[in-house]
Structures are given as C-alpha cells and as structure tokens.
Structure 1
C-alpha cells in the first residue's frame, strides 16, 4: 500500500507537471465504486463547467486536489496508481479518469479496486484524520501528549490513522526499529526517553523515505511506482521491513517476521527486546 512518502512523491510529480492552474473538464468512472458519491449525476452537475486546479496538497495518505468550488480526495489504498494518458480507450485496470482540458488525462489505475476518489464541494475540505508527521504541528510535545492517552501496543497505536496519519506497515516497523522499541510494547509502559526517541525516529524515517521517493517492493503491477512509472529506492535502505532472515544492520542478529494483530511485523529480537 502506498504510504505517506509514496503519495508525497506523486504530489511532487503532479506539481512538476504544472498541473496547478489547469482545468478538469470531467471525471469518468469505469468502476462506479471508485467514485464517491457513486451517482454520475452529482459529478456531471459539479463539472458542468471546467474546474481549475488551485493547489495540489496531501494529508497523510490522502492526495488532495483543491479545485474552484470543491476538493477531490484521492486515496490509493492497496494498489492504486496515477498515470498520464492521451488515449481515449481505458487502460488496463483503469477505474476512473480525470479529463484535463486541452491536455492528457490523469488515469486512476487500481488492480484491486480498493482505491477511492471522493468529491467534497468545499475548497477548504480536509480529511478527518490525525496529525501528519511532516506538518509543523507534529512536534515532540504533540506526540508526548498523544501517547499519554495510549493503552494499546505501540504498533497498533501508530497504525491508527486518527492518531498519526500517513504511517503504514513499512514505516511503522522501520521507525520502531530506529527507536529500539518492540512492536508489542505497551504504549503506557514507554519511558519518556523512548517516547522522545520515537519522535525523532518517525521524523527521520519519513524524511529519508521521501528523499528516496518511497519504497517499491516486488515487480508486479500492484507495487508502487510514480506518475511516470519510476520506482522508489527506499527499499535499498530498509532496516527490518521485508528483511526477515537477513542479519540486522546494527547487531547482525537475523531479522524476524511475525503476525501481530493480523499484520506482518518485522523486528530485530536483539535491538528491540520485548517487555516482560
């Protein structure tokens, strides 16, 4: 699933394409469940005249196209991608298309059909999710305040998009390794020093992954790639994720993978000792 760094790379691609200021003429659905609202009439009415793209933003894993009179929320979910096309025929696995006035269309490709494009008729709309770790409001003090109310295991807590938005399985495992915290460690039993280290680990993990334009694992059409099909390179810098059986880059102990609350979870049993 594309997480914050991958969606940020796509946002940067769209900005580099000078999409801001261009106009969307219409949105075509090839799979009605991809669009919300699902009624075609609602989209036709909104796009009775072209809508200018005011800005291209991101909140957590959501890509936000701010339009004159509304906002498109785009979530890639498990296998979603955006592609440019000048063809009038649907692409393989294309579920929806944003038709750009006088130029190429933006195709929403999604083999597993979990992705969504949501129309909100407010220019200042924003998803109701937790703090984004790239925002200025994500401070050490903010994280300490949020953690003070935690009662679950730290991995479960970090994956809750209502707490911190944008973190998924890859970057939670990576941040916990950097902080030396076992994924099952109860939030309520974290020391102040560990909480502060976790803050720095989250920020550092996300910043590096953005610099590397995300993580691309595997070679199937369900794996992440950017607008122009370029893969990210952060997979070459991972400490634990998808490295089960390989030596820890710090202590050489083999990395382990377990199922925890239904999630594949990667950690070093020496660097991230469990709490007893």
Structure 2
C-alpha cells in the first residue's frame, strides 16, 4: 500500500534544474532510501516533499491527499515528520524538554490556560512527559532523561531528534542524513533503530551517504544524479546497476567481481 507518491516533480532555480521530472512511490512500513553523489538533488527533493520549496511542476501525494507545496507546519498534523542533517536541538533545555517540544501540535497552547494552570493542562503535561520518556527509551537515550542537551554526545543528540519527531506520532518520517558525523558504532545503532521503526509500522524515507547503512536497512532505493532519477529498486538491484556504479565512481565501469564492495565504499 502506498504511503507517499511523488509524480514528475521538478524544481528550477534560475537556470539550474535542481530536480528534473522525478517520480517514485514509497510503500507503507518500509525504508525507502534516496541516494546519489553530492549535488544530485537529494535535499532539494526532500524540501519539495516537505513544503519548504514550491515545485516548479509535479505533485506530491501523502496517502490519498495532495500535499504539493503545503506549508511545512501543517504536515505533522497529517502524520509526516522530519529530522534534519544539522542538529536542531535547544542546548539550553533538558533532553526531556527537547523531546516534549515535538508534541506541541497536540497540546493546548492557550495563553489563558497556561496562566491559570488549568487541571486539564496539567494532566496533558504529565501525559506528554510520560510519552516523551517512552520515546527516549525507544531510541536508546532514556539515560539522558534528566540531563541537559548540552551534556549529551553528538550521536545521542541525533537519536534525541528522532525521539522528538516521534512525538508528533507520525506515520511517515523523512530522515536527512541521520548518520552524518557518527562513528561506526553509532552508525550501526542508528541503522538498527531505523530498521526497528519500520518493522514497527513506521514508513521511513532516508537520505544518507553511508552506503553500508543504506544497503543494510533499505527495502527500496531511489538513486538521483544531477537532479534526475537514475535508478529505482531493491538494494541488490541498485548495487548491480552499471549506471549507478558509474555515477558513484565517476567513470564508465562494468559489473564485475568486487563491484558491490566498490559501491559500498563510495
């Protein structure tokens, strides 16, 4: 069953065709990775899907709803969340409070209610804290519940952002390079988490440069090059595609013994 459908999406900045007629479908409860060399248009594509950019042409469907160019702040209420390549953490807040921020769309944010400290607001706050603690445990950072965000390692902060995104109760999460800057152990932990989230029913759209991670967690991979879709398929199909290998290695090569290892290192 479809979770997300991108139809002939294009974006032109002046004379630059950043994304050109890209189409693909993301199935529910799967990990769908978007890969490609630097400058391939991956982040631009994610920005188009999440409403941060308005497409020059094309359409984005989330479930049965057309969300093309819908304002980003409206997407969490529909069940779409996003984590960013660069940390978006408030370092002067506790780890728990950072995660609770993700639930703000479901909270009663009335100024009067806050000033009066109404019983319902207090109950909602307690429930939110309990849910945030569960989200932190789910991503493996429960030990930091009472810590300041500034006391956390970089790898833990990356997972903290995922916990915050989970607080919107999404059915689909877009992750922009969640393993960027992580060491091999931290990368493996993030990979296990992504796979577990999908196995639990969450749909994940992953943009990532770490090829071993992508190949190990993905159900489907879409490859971009110079803004165009180069290939689409399972990890095994993409790994063996001569055009994909050429795009990553920067030269025409044939599929020979050892090619898979070359692609994974690229």
TM-score, normalising length from structure 1? 0.27
Q: Which has the higher contact order (CA 8 A, sep 6+)?
A: 2
Q: From the two aligned structures, give the one with the greater helix fraction.
A: 2
TM-score, normalising length from structure 2? 0.27
